[in-house]
A = this chain, B = another copy of it.
Amino acid sequence: MVTIREIARIAKVSRGTVDKVLNNRPGVSDEVRERVSGIAKALGYKPNIIGKALANQKKAFLIGVIVPPDSNPYFEDIKRGVNAAYDEVKYCGIQIDYQVMRSLEPKEQLGIIEHLVDKGITALALNPINDDMIRDAIDEMTGGGIPVVTFTSDILRSRRLCFVGLDVVKSGRVAGELMGKLLQGKGKVAVVFGSRSILSHNQRIEGFTAVMRQDYPGIEILEMVENLDRDDVSFEVTLSLLERYPDLDGLCLMSAGIGGAGRAIKLAENGYGIKVVSFDFIPETVELVKEGIIDFTIGQNPFMQGYQPIKILSDYLLFDRVPQVDFYRISNEIKIKQNIDELYV
Contact = CB atoms under 8 A, between A and B. Distances in A.
Nearest to A88: B49
B336 A178 contact: yes
B91 A50 contact: yes
A334 B339 contact: yes
Interface residues of A, number: 36
A268 interface: no
B338 A173 contact: yes
A85 to B, nearest CB: 14
**Copies of this chain, whole number:** 2
B332 A334 contact: no
Contacts of A182: 181, 184
A178 B342 CA distance: 16
Contacts of A337: 177
Interface stretch (A51-59, A116-124, A132-140, A147-155): A51-59
Interface in A296-345: 296, 329-339, 342-343, 345
15 contacts: A1-B91, A49-B91, A50-B91, A50-B92, A173-B338, A174-B336, A174-B339, A177-B336, A177-B337, A181-B182, A181-B295, A182-B184, A184-B184, A332-B342, A333-B334
- Pairs of residues from A and B, 10 with the lowest C-beta to C-beta distance, nearest first: A331-B342, A334-B334, A173-B338, A50-B53, A177-B338, A174-B338, A331-B345, A50-B54, A332-B339, A329-B345
Given A51-B54, A334-B339, 10 more contacts: A48-B91, A50-B57, A50-B91, A174-B339, A181-B181, A329-B342, A331-B339, A331-B343, A332-B339, A332-B342
